[in-house]
Amino acid sequence: MKASVLIVGGGIIGLSCAWEAAKRGFDVTLIERDAIGGQASGAAAGMLAPFYENGEGPDDFFRLCVDSLLLYPDWVREIEAAAGIDTGFVRSGSLHLALHEADRQPLLGRLAWQRAFGARGEWAEGAALRALEPAASPQARGALFSPAEGHVNAPKLVAALETACRGAGVRLVDHAGGLSALEAGSGSFGVRAVTDSDAYAADLAVCCVGAWSGGLAEWLGIRVPIHPIRGQICAFGPTAPRPRHLVFSSQAYWVAKGDGSLVCGASEDDAGFDRSVTESGVGRLVRWGERVLPMLRGLAPVRSWAGLRPATLDGWPLLGPVPRSPNVFLAAGHYRNGILLSPVTAAIVGRWLGRGGGPGERGLAAFAPDRFDRSSAWAEGIPG
DSSP character for 195? E
Pair (25, 141) in one structural domain: no
pLDDT of residue 43 exceeding 90: no
Question: Do 254 and 344 sit in the same domain of this protein?
Answer: no
Instruction: Count the helix, strand and coil residues of the chain and give each as a percent rounded to the nearest 5.
Output: 35, 25, 40
For residue 273, the SS3 value is coil
Q: How many CA atoms lie within 13 A of 308 on its CB side?
A: 21
Q: Are residues 266 and 304 in the same domain?
A: yes
For residue 81, tell me if it sits in a domain.
no
User: Which tens digit of pLDDT belongs to each residue from 90-103?
Assistant: 999 999 999 999 99
> Do 160 and 40 sit in the same domain of this protein?
yes
Q: Is the pLDDT of residue 384 over 80?
A: no
Q: Which of 278, 312, 346 is the last residue of a domain?
A: 312
Q: Are 121 and 144 in contact (CB under 8 A)?
A: yes
Q: What's the average model confidence in pLDDT over 310-336?
A: 94
Do 42 and 189 fall into the same domain?
A: yes
Looking at every residue in the chain, the average pLDDT score rounds to 92
Domain boundary among 271, 287, 312: 312
User: What is the C-alpha radius of gyration for the chain, rounded to an integer number of angstroms?
Assistant: 21
Mean pLDDT of all residues in 17-39 = 94
Q: Classify residue 243 by its DSSP letter.
A: -
Which carries the bigger pLDDT value, residue 243 or residue 324? 243
**Do 40 and 308 touch, CB atoms closer than 8 A?**
yes
Domain boundary among 312, 328, 344: 312
Tell me the average pLDDT across 168-180.
94
Concatenate the DSSP letters of all residues of 245-272 into one string. SEEE-SS-EEEE-TTS-EEEEEEEE--T
Three-point CA angle 95, 59, 115, nearest 5° = 40
Model pLDDT for residues 108-124, shown as the tens digit of each residue:
999 999 988 777 899 99
Is 297 found in the same domain as 159?
no
pLDDT at 186: 52
Query: Residues 235, 197: one domain?
Result: no
**CATH code of the domain in which 240 resides:** 3.30.9.10
The reported pLDDT for the residue numbered 376 is 44
Chain centre to alpha carbon of residue 333: 9
Does residue 55 lie within any of the structural domains? Answer: no
Q: Which domain holds residue 260?
A: 89-149+228-312
Count how many domains the chain has: 2
The separation between CA 151 and the C-alpha centre of its own chain, rounded to angstroms, equals 12
Which residues lie below 8 Å from residue 201, measured CB to CB, with a gap of 6+? 4, 6, 190, 191, 192, 193
Q: Is the pLDDT of residue 265 over 50?
A: yes
Q: What is the CATH number of the domain that holds 183?
A: 3.50.50.60
Does 380 score more than 70 pLDDT? Answer: no
Whether 119 and 172 map to the same domain: the answer is no
- Of the candidates 228, 236, 230, 227, the residue with the CA atom closest to the CA atom of residue 281: 230
Same domain (yes/no): 167, 294: no
pLDDT band at 56 (very low <50, low <70, confident <90, very high): confident
State the pLDDT at residue 185.
67
In the sheet with 199-202, reading across from the earlier edge strand, the strands are 179-184, 191-195, 199-202
For residues 246 and 253, is the Cβ–Cβ distance under 8 A?
yes
Q: Whose CA is closest to 19, among 347, 333, 357?
A: 347
How far is 265 from 177, CA to CA, in rounded Å? 30
Residue 329 CA to residue 282 CA, distance in Å, equals: 37
Mean pLDDT across 27-40: 90
* Burial class of 226 by CB neighbour count within 10 A (0 to 12, 13 to 18, 19+): buried
